[in-house]
Amino acid sequence: MDYVTVKYLSKKPKLKNPILIEGLPGIGNVGKLAVEHLIDSINAIKFAELYSKDFPPQVFINTDGTIELVNNEFYYWKAKKKNQRDLILLTGDYQGLSSHGQYELVGTILDIAQDLGVKEMYTLGGYGLGHEIQNPKVLCATTDKHLVKTMKKYGAIFKKNEPGGGIVGASGLLLGLGKLRGFEGICFMGETPGYLVDPKSAKAVLKILMKITNININLVELEKKAKEIEHIAHQLKEMEHGSREKSDELGYIG
């Protein structure tokens, strides 16, 4: 097994000027949630799995009792209308564990993308604020200046010096290494508290993506998940509040 191994499940899909959309685990799992939802919504077809020595030595257990080695997965979708474009979608269980591994993995992903004719990428992630946010905005960064203008039209936000620490991980590296190879790329970062998985932020990201791709994505499922998480967050807050009140009472007694 090489450092990164790609296993095609069928023969390579023939795609016309496809866009790569990446969403791997990260802050608030925003990117992964968005791409997984997109895959489900448009019934994209899995065509390749990617294994790596830089993933943990781990299998997950399916509901039927069988195991699955941790991996990243490629899906494709063919355009249905004239104003749409073919898509390649990337999600997975993990990003690489080490710096070195991240470079190797992203290098391989770019090889595959290049091989399938990709010239343009959208990478999706979360931008952790550390506090709650009612209406998450979507920050943006691009490989090229002309894309900044275009993305502003779609409602993406560019803030000077934000994120101050740049973009760490696959979403950033795909753009960074891709740019060196001549890819155009856009990174969307949904604002998120960053404490829990954040379907609300994923929805905000998908809304911009809908405008760009002219694909109608059913957001009902994501909205349902968002409500569940809101409920959990509310409960956690009450528990915290409750225990604080309790200790206050004890303070009065003592």
Mask: binding to a copy of itself, 154-193, rule CB under 8 A, as x and -?
A: ----x-xxxx-xxxxxx-xx-xxx-xx------x------
Do the bridges between strand 87-92 and strand 19-22 make them parallel or antiparallel, or are there none, so unpaired?
Answer: parallel
Instruction: Tell the smallest beta-carbon distance from residue 217 to a copy of itself (Å).
Output: 25
Q: Does 153 bind a copy of itself (CB under 8 A)?
A: no
Instruction: Tell the smallest beta-carbon distance from residue 152 to a copy of itself (Å).
Output: 9
Q: Does 70 bind a copy of itself (CB under 8 A)?
A: yes
Asked if residues 87 and 77 have their Cβ atoms less than 8 Å apart, the reply is yes
Instruction: Tell the smallest beta-carbon distance from residue 153 to a copy of itself (Å).
Output: 13
* Helix axis angle, 220-253 to 199-213, nearest 10°: 160
Instruction: Tell the smallest beta-carbon distance from residue 36 to a copy of itself (Å).
Output: 18
Q: Does 121 bind a copy of itself (CB under 8 A)?
A: no
Residue 214's SS3 state is coil
Which of these segments, 32-40, 47-55, 73-81, 82-90, binds a copy of itself (CB under 8 A)?
A: 47-55
Asked if residues 202 and 153 have their Cβ atoms less than 8 Å apart, the reply is no
Which of these segments, 57-65, 75-83, 211-219, 240-248, binds a copy of itself (CB under 8 A)?
A: 57-65
Cα–Cα distance for residue pair 242/245, rounded to 1 Å: 5
Q: Does 254 bind a copy of itself (CB under 8 A)?
A: no
Q: Does 207 bind a copy of itself (CB under 8 A)?
A: no
Integer-rounded Cα radius of gyration of the chain: 20
Asked if residues 187 and 167 have their Cβ atoms less than 8 Å apart, the reply is yes
Q: Does 212 bind a copy of itself (CB under 8 A)?
A: no
Instruction: Tell the smallest beta-carbon distance from residue 80 to a copy of itself (Å).
Output: 32
Tell whether the torsion through CA atoms of 97, 73, 225 and 30 is positive or negative.
positive
Q: Which is nearer to a copy of itself, 184 or 219 (CB)?
A: 184
Distances (CA, A) of 54 to 3, 66, 67, 118: 7, 23, 19, 25
Asked if residues 37 and 88 have their Cβ atoms less than 8 Å apart, the reply is no
Asked if residues 238 and 66 have their Cβ atoms less than 8 Å apart, the reply is no
Please report, as ranges, the residues that interact with a copy of itself according to CB under 8 A: 1, 7, 51, 53-61, 63-70, 96-97, 99-100, 102-104, 106-107, 140-145, 148, 158, 160-163, 165-170, 172-173, 175-177, 179-180, 187
